[in-house]
Each structure stands twice: as C-alpha cells, then as structure tokens.
C-alpha cells in the first residue's frame, strides 16, 4: 500500500506538470472507488465460486471434515491455489504499465519547483 500511495503521488505530480492543475482529491477518490469496487466484486466472485464451482453446501462446514466430499475439497484447493492467484495477475499487469522512472520523477519535481518559484515571485 505504501508503494501504491507513493506511485499515486508521483502520478499527481506528473498530471500537475502536464495540465497545470493539482488534483490530489480526484486521484484519492479514484483509489477509494477502486478499493470499494474490488472489495465488492471480490465478495461476489468468492460467493459465486463457493456456490457454483466448489459446491460447498450451506451448513456443510458445521459437519466434521471427514464428511465433506473429496471433490469439494479438491475444488476448494484449486480455487485457492490457482483461480485466486490468476486474479493477482490483474494488478501485476496494471503495475507493469507504470512508466515513471526515478529520473523522470526527479525531473518532474524539479520542473514543478521551478514553476512554483516563478509563480510565487
């Protein structure tokens, strides 16, 4: 999360240099919306997987583990080990598209500092 927030601050700086507007709140709102959407969609997908793929029946977890069929345990393991990990590829792809380097961030900050000094005096 720290890296994400740091990356977002760098993007805010880049956007300010490009447009002349500092819109931190827009970026923070977008992050908050994305967080809520991912949480909601994650719960829905998890529920659908439990109901329709894994086949875990309501109340089945109250019984002894020996009473849960092997195929249900296998599908639960596949879901945990494979399907959930595939969803990790989405943020990995998005992060791979982040193109700011430390040199570019330093140049952006230097330009912004110069503009602020010029505009203040």
Count structural domains, the chain: 1
Query: Percent helix, strand, coil in the chain (nearest 5)?
Result: 85, 0, 15
Mean pLDDT score of the chain, rounded to an integer? 89
Q: In angstroms, what CA-CA distances link 56 with 14, 107, 109?
A: 48, 55, 54
Rounded to two decimals, the pTM is 0.71
**Which pLDDT tens digit goes with each residue over 69-84?**
889 889 999 999 999 8
Residue 57: φ, ψ to 5°:
-85, 150
pLDDT band at 97 (very low <50, low <70, confident <90, very high): very high
Residue 60 clears pLDDT 80, i.e. is over it: no
Whole-number pLDDT of residue 64: 63
- Residue 91 lies in domain: 2-120
């Amino acid at each position: 999360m720290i890296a994400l927030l740091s990356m977002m601050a760098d993007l805010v700086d880049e956007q300010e240099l490009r447009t002349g507007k500092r819109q931190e709140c827009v970026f923070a709102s977008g992050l908050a919306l994305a967080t809520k959407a991912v949480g909601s969609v994650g719960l829905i997908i998890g529920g659908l997987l439990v109901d329709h793929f894994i086949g875990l029946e309501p109340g089945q977890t109250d019984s002894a583990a020996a009473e849960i069929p092997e195929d249900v345990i296998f599908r639960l393991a596949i879901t945990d080990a494979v399907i959930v990990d595939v969803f990790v590829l989405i943020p990995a792809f998005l992060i791979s598209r982040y193109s700011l380097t430390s040199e570019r961030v330093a140049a952006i900050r230097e330009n912004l500092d110069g503009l602020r000094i010029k505009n203040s005096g």
